[in-house]
Amino acid sequence: MTTALRRLRNYIDGEFRDAADGRTTEVVNPATGEAYATAPLSAPADVDAAMAAAEAAFPAWRDLIPAERQKVLLKIADRFEERAEELIAAESENCGKPIALVRSEEIPPMVDQIRFFAGAARMLEGRSAGEYMEGFTSIIRREPVGVCAQVAPWNYPMMMAVWKFAPALAAGNTVVIKPSDTTPASTVLIADIIGSVLDELGHSRGVFNVICGDRETGRLMVEHKVPAMASITGSVRAGMQVAESASKDLKRVHLELGGKAPVVVFEDTDIAKAVEDISVAGYFNAGQDCTAATRVLVHESIHDEFVSALAKAASETKTGAVDDEDVLYGPLNNANQLKQVKGFIERLPAHAKIEAGGEQVGDKGYFFAPTVVSGLKQDDEIVQQEVFGPVITVQSFSEEKQALEWANGVEYALASSVWTKDHARAMRMSKSLDFGCVWINTHIPLVAEMPHGGFKKSGYGKDLSAYGFDDYTRIKHVMTSLDG
């Protein structure tokens, strides 16, 4: 007996709609490898409709005083808390994530981040008015950019949606957001939540729109004439394509792309504490995190002890079913990602050694064992390229200069960490590490008040913080004569 698939739909101008041409794609639960829903495969007509709704809603939303936009965002945050169990269930099915971890590690930060941007809406900053030419006063206005086309990834579908819509709406923009084709369920639920709040408070539901689809749908969004800004969290390749497409009409672009975070462990480190924290930061969410602690560089004097402890920690780390409260992470997101992670392991050079894991777990779903690989060299593929899986690599260095050179010697520049008791060394390293974030004796904590974003091929623009809010605004100079 075949179970009927749930039907997900686009959310455009306050209505849930199928794709105009009726096309759909199946959505698979990565914990089972089985389809549980269908979602629209949106085409030009759907993108046109969503952009038209956002464009029509923009003037009234833009012209609201910040306090009114704040009310909306605070109500959305409240509603996220009220409907938390629905969101948790949707995200767990979306991604195969452990239910307990979605409840503890994703819902509270998302609610906090929405509330942060609700406050940011009322903290617009600019230089004070003044006379810089005799007889004239200059004023700086900070304004929303307009309609924002946003593309969210599959590793944190809910949270990345929040990182995008919250600052955009707070700043006075309207939104058309597309979730990944593999994880649309939670974003569609978010549309229901936001739409109901907009309706209750008397605002156009066209302020927030969701369209489901694939890469082609995303390309149509970015190339559409209406959006003033395109924002994407995704791969380097996707970011380059977005930047190229947006350049055709000089759209503003906000890119948060891949990472290959170095974790530099010096000889004076508390090994047990470092291993414990690095294991969690490397394997959490199955390593599917651009900031994951998956590239360890450890001083040669403690290398063997550290690798042994790391391998032991990997063997004690559990992956498994969504309702098992003892697991640290669930499956990889999709069959292609499982294939990619397996490929890195299969192509390891002869000098590499698998200290733990290295294989798929079970015969159902896309689970992969927590893995440690040692004996690697700087130019090895697995060191240079993002695996995006539960695989921690280890290299041995002899001196600080070499550690810094190797840490910076990749194309990514999103996040990094330094592990040492030497304050001066920590300051030297944090100054010279070419990454958008440097953690010292920790790895992966994020707060709403601090920016998240990288350099080089990790993209540009910031998420979170006042810097992330500023990215969704534009600056206007107004000058007036004082002689009447």
Query: Which active-site residues does the annotation give?
Result: 256, 290
Burial (CB < 10 A; 0-12, 13-18, 19+), residue 482, is exposed
- Distance CA(95)–CA(27), nearest Å, equals 10
| Cβ–Cβ < 8 Å for 297, 264 | yes
Rg of the Cα atoms in the chain? 23
b (16+ CB within 10 A) / e for 408-439 = eebebbbbbbbbbeeeebbeebbeebbbbbbb
Largest CA distance in the chain: 83
What phi and psi values does residue 365 have, to the nearest 5 degrees?
80, -170
Residue 450 CB: number of other CB atoms within 10 A?
14
Nearest alpha carbon to residue 468 among 441, 439, 436: 436
| Cβ–Cβ < 8 Å for 418, 440 | yes
Kindly give, in sequence order, each residue whose CB lies less than 8 Å from that of residue 445, ignoring residues fewer than 6 positions away.
439
- Distance CA(388)–CA(378), nearest Å, equals 18
